[in-house]
């Protein structure tokens, strides 16, 4: 995950661009690219373990090399932000502490590793949601006004007003919040995204707002209706994503605490 620390700020800038629309990296492409970043910048040592001898081992090695080459080429089309020079990367920080030094290697507690995985998954969810919305609501994204509206709807899914502004929380937030009341505004934001899509489920969602009333500027919520909206919207999102990309999407995760 050291590679993620290198590209994180650049990737956030990419996601904050409303016109962003690039091929989505799958999990294997993510792993391949981040591994290559770590190797190119010498953040980790290459695996120089000797390959097993024999024809079968040679054939397997050649196949793996060809497959790895294809994955690298595909990654170049997705991850277009420039990388820093090796000599410019002397330390890496995460969660307000130094977790890697070129002179000393990694110093990465388990909880920080877990939170880094959470952070990468959260950005993956945002990238996938944005890309899918681009594909489904293509005509809206082609106009300045439509692009602004869709961007605001997606930004409302995160407490900080967008994943590009994401900071580490102290507990699970957004649509992953464990307190149902705290989860409500973000489930409602998700409903407002999905209800614009074509299909029977979006038409149902358009009729299922769970704001009971607004008192002194604060919304009051209906828990059973919120849970119904949550189930319908999440299931529909996962199915539509699979229909477009042939795999399961990244989904929001519980924030690791320790």
Instruction: Please give the residue range of the domain that contains residue 11.
Output: 2-108
The average pLDDT across 4-20 equals 77
In a domain, 254, yes or no: no
For the segment 108-165, what is each residue's pLDDT rounded down to a tens digit?
888 888 998 898 888 889 889 999 999 999 999 999 999 999 999 999 999 877 666 5
Asked whether residue 258 is assigned to any structural domain, the reply reads: no
Query: 219 has which bridge partners?
Result: 214
Which range of 26-35, 55-64, 124-133, 153-162 scores highest in mean pLDDT? It is 124-133
Q: Are residues 35 and 123 in the same domain?
A: no
Q: Measuring CA to CA, which residue among 237, 226, 159, 223 is closest to residue 195?
A: 237
CA distance linking residue 237 with residue 140, whole number of Å? 19
Residues 155, 217 share a domain = yes
Per DSSP, the residues of 124-172 read: HHHHHHHHHHHHHTHHHHTSHHHHHHHHHHHHTTSTTSSGGG----SS-
Q: Tell the residue number behind the tokens 């649509």, with chain if given.
A: 175
Model confidence, pTM: 0.81
- Of 108, 131, 165, the position where a domain reaches its end is 108
Q: What is the DSSP letter of 11?
A: H
**Cα–Cα distance for residue pair 91/103, rounded to 1 Å:** 9
How many Å apart are CA 36 and CA 131, to the nearest integer? 24
In the block, tokens 């952070």 appear at: 119
Same domain, 34 and 146: no
Q: What pLDDT, in 10s, does the model give residues 166-221? A: 678 889 999 999 999 999 999 999 999 999 999 999 999 999 987 777 666 667 78
Tell me the pLDDT of the chain averaged across its residues. 84
- In terms of average pLDDT, the best of 16-20, 34-38, 187-191 is 187-191
Question: Does residue 50 have a pLDDT over 60?
Answer: no
How many domains does one find in the chain?
2
Tokens of residue 48, six digits: 């120089």
* Selected residue with higher pLDDT from 132 and 56: 132
Domain boundary among 108, 134, 162: 108
Q: Are residues 7 and 45 in the same domain?
A: yes
Which of 87, 108, 129 is a domain's end point?
Answer: 108
């Amino acid at each position: 995950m050291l590679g993620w620390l290198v590209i994180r700020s650049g990737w956030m800038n990419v996601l904050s661009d409303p016109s962003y629309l690039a091929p989505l990296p799958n999990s294997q492409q993510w792993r391949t690219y981040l591994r290559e970043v770590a190797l190119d910048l010498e953040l980790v040592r290459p695996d120089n373990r000797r390959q097993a001898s024999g024809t079968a081992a040679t054939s397997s090695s050649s196949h793996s090399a060809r497959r790895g080459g294809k994955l690298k080429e595909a990654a170049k089309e997705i991850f277009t932000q420039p990388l820093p020079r090796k000599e410019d990367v002397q330390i890496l920080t995460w969660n307000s502490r130094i977790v890697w030094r070129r002179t000393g290697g990694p110093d990465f507690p388990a909880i920080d590793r877990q939170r880094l995985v959470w952070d990468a998954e959260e950005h993956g969810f945002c990238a996938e949601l944005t890309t899918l919305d681009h594909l489904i609501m293509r005509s809206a994204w082609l106009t300045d006004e439509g692009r602004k509206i869709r961007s605001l709807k997606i930004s409302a899914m995160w407490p900080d007003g967008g994943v590009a502004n994401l900071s580490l929380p102290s507990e699970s937030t957004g649509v992953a919040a464990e307190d149902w009341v705290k989860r409500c505004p973000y489930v409602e934001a998700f409903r407002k995204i999905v209800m614009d899509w074509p299909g029977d489920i979006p038409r149902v969602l358009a009729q299922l707002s769970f704001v009971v009333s607004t008192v002194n500027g604060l919304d009051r919520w209906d828990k059973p209706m919120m849970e119904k909206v949550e189930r319908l919207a999440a299931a529909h999102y996962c199915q539509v994503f699979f229909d477009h990309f042939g795999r399961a999407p990244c989904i929001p995760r519980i924030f690791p605490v320790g």
